[in-house]
Chain A
Amino acid sequence: MAAPLTLLLIVAVTIRAVLFRSSLAELIPERVEVVSPLNAWKRVVEGLALLDLGVSPYAGDVFHETPLIIYFFHFVSDYAEIVFMVMTRLVGCVFLLQFRKQKYALEAERYPLDCLELIRTPKEMYYIPLKVAMFYLLNPFTILSCVAKSTCGLNNAVIALFILCTVKGSSLMSAIFLALATYQSIYPLTLFAPALLYLLQRLYIPVNWQRSSFWLFTTQYTFMYLGSLCVMVCLSFFLLSSWDFLSSVYGFILSVPDLTPNIGLFWYFFAEMFEHFRLFFICVFQINVFFYTIPLSIKLKEHPIFLIFMQIAIISIFKSYPTVGDIALYMAFLPAWNHLYRFLRNIFLVSVVLLACSTLFPVLWHLWIYAGSANSNFYYAITLLFNVAQILLVSDYFYAYLRREHHLTHGLYLKRKDGSEATLVLK
Chain B
Amino acid sequence: MLAFVLCGLVYVFVTADVQETNQVKDAEGQTHAVEEERQWEATEVETNLSLTDTPSDNEADHVQTCDRPPPPPAKDEIQEAAEEVRRDSLETNIVDVPSDKVDHVSDTKKTLDDPPPPPEKDRFQEELVIRPLHSGDTYASFQFRTLWDTDFFRGNKVLYYQLFPKSLGQVISKFSVSELHISFTQGYWRTMQWGQPFLPSPPGAELWEWCQDTVTDVDIAWKELTNVLSGIVCASLNFIDSTNTVQPSASFKPLGVGNGNAFSANAVLPREIVCTENLTPWKKLLPCGAKTGLAVLMNSEKVFHSSFYSQALHITPVCQDWQCKSTAWELKRTLNVVFDLHSSGQGKREWSLFKMFSRTLTEACPLRHCGEQFELSPATPLLSQAVVLGDRRTYSVYDLTNQATFGQMPAESGDMLRPLLHGERYVAGYGLPTGEIHTLVYNHHTYRAFPVLLLDTVPWYLRLYIHTLTTPAIYIHYQPSKDRLQPHLLEMLVQLPPNSVTEVTVQFERALLKWTEYTPDPNHGFYVGPLLAVPSVVAMDTNSTQERPLFSSFFPCKEESSYFMRVYTEPLLVNLPTPDFSMPYNVICLTCTVMAVGYGSLYNLLTHTFQVEEPGLRCVPLL
Chain A residues packing against B (C-beta within 8 Å): 30, 32, 42, 45-46, 48-50, 53, 55, 59-62, 257-261, 265, 267-275, 285, 288, 292, 295-296, 299, 314, 317-318, 368-370, 375-377, 380, 384, 387-388, 391-392, 395, 398-399, 402-403, 406, 414-417, 422-427
Contact = CB atoms under 8 A, between A and B. Distances in A.
Contact of A271 (B466, B513, B602): B513
B40 interface: no
A62 B608 contact: no
Contacts of A268: 579, 587, 591
Nearest to A406: B610
Contacts of A299: 605-606
B467 A49 contact: yes
B514 A62 contact: no
B281 to A, nearest CB: 33
List of 6 A-B pairs having minimum Cβ-Cβ separation, nearest first: A60-B480, A49-B467, A395-B601, A426-B608, A422-B612, A272-B587
Interface in B382-424: none
A170 to B, nearest CB: 31
A376 B480 contact: no
A267 to B, nearest CB: 7
13 contacts: A55-B480, A61-B480, A61-B482, A260-B509, A261-B577, A271-B514, A272-B514, A272-B584, A275-B516, A295-B607, A391-B597, A417-B614, A427-B609
Contacts of A368: 577
A148 B218 CA distance: 44
A273 B584 contact: yes
B432 A391 contact: no
Interface in B304-350: none
Interface residues of B, number: 57
A60 B509 CA distance: 14
Nearest to B430: A370
Contacts of B432: 369-370
B30 interface: no
Contact of B478 (A45, A53, A258, A417): A53
A417 B584 CA distance: 53
Contacts of B597: 388, 391-392
A257 B614 CA distance: 52
Contacts of B483: 61, 257-258
Contacts of B594: 265, 384, 387-388, 391
Interface in B443-487: 460, 463, 465-467, 476, 478-484
A149 B608 CA distance: 43
B616 to A, nearest CB: 9
A46 B515 contact: no
A265 B596 CA distance: 12
A395 B597 CA distance: 10
A271 B588 CA distance: 10
Nearest to A424: B610
A260 B512 contact: yes
A377 B512 CA distance: 13
B479 A59 contact: yes
Contacts of A265: 591, 594-595
Contacts of B160: none
B598 interface: yes
Contacts of B467: 45-46, 48-49
B73 to A, nearest CB: 52
Given A275-B514, A395-B601, A416-B612, A30 B434 contact: yes
Nearest to B587: A272
A84 to B, nearest CB: 19
A403 B613 CA distance: 14
B611 interface: yes
A120 to B, nearest CB: 21
Contacts of A426: 604-605, 608-611
Given A265-B591, A274-B584, A391 B465 contact: no
A68 B106 CA distance: 73
Most chain B CB within 10 A, of A46, A50, A288, A318, is at A46
A64 to B, nearest CB: 11
Given A30-B434, A258-B483, 13 more contacts: A49-B465, A53-B476, A61-B463, A61-B481, A61-B483, A257-B483, A265-B595, A268-B591, A269-B591, A271-B512, A275-B516, A370-B430, A416-B615
B511 A259 contact: yes
Nearest to B578: A376
B588 A269 contact: yes
B433 interface: yes
Contact of A61 (B460, B516, B615): B460
Given A269-B591, A423-B613, A46 B479 contact: no
A314 B345 CA distance: 73
Given A273-B514, A292-B602, A426-B604, A414 B612 contact: yes
A239 B13 CA distance: 64
* Secondary structure of the A contact surface, majority rule: helix
B460 A395 contact: no
Most chain A CB within 10 A, of B434, B587, B590, B604, is at B587
A369 B484 CA distance: 23
A236 to B, nearest CB: 19
Nearest to B607: A295
A265 B591 CA distance: 7
Contacts of A422: 612-613
Contact of A42 (B465, B516, B580, B604): B465
A380 B514 CA distance: 15
B334 to A, nearest CB: 37
A46 B430 CA distance: 22
Given A49-B467, A288-B595, A403-B610, A62 B587 contact: no
Contacts of B463: 61-62
B431 interface: yes
A369 B591 contact: no
Interface in B427-441: 430-434
Nearest to A296: B606
A272 B614 contact: no
Contacts of A406: 609-610
B580 A376 contact: yes
A331 to B, nearest CB: 17
A376 B591 contact: no
B62 to A, nearest CB: 62
B583 interface: yes
Contacts of B610: 402-403, 406, 424-427
Contacts of A48: 467
Contacts of A270: 514
Contacts of B603: 295
Contacts of A285: 595
B135 to A, nearest CB: 36
Contacts of B615: 416
A45 to B, nearest CB: 5
B39 to A, nearest CB: 62
Nearest to A277: B588
Given A268-B591, A426-B604, A55 B583 contact: no
A392 B605 CA distance: 12
A46 B601 contact: no
Interface in B215-269: none
Nearest to B590: A384
Contact of A59 (B480, B511, B584, B608): B480
A400 to B, nearest CB: 10
Contacts of B480: 50, 55, 59-62
A314 B606 CA distance: 14
Nearest to A390: B598
B605 A369 contact: no
A233 B479 CA distance: 26
A272 B512 contact: no
A423 B615 CA distance: 10
Interface string B572-587: 0000011110011001
A416 B614 CA distance: 7
A398 B612 contact: no
A62 B588 CA distance: 27
Contacts of B591: 265, 268-269, 384
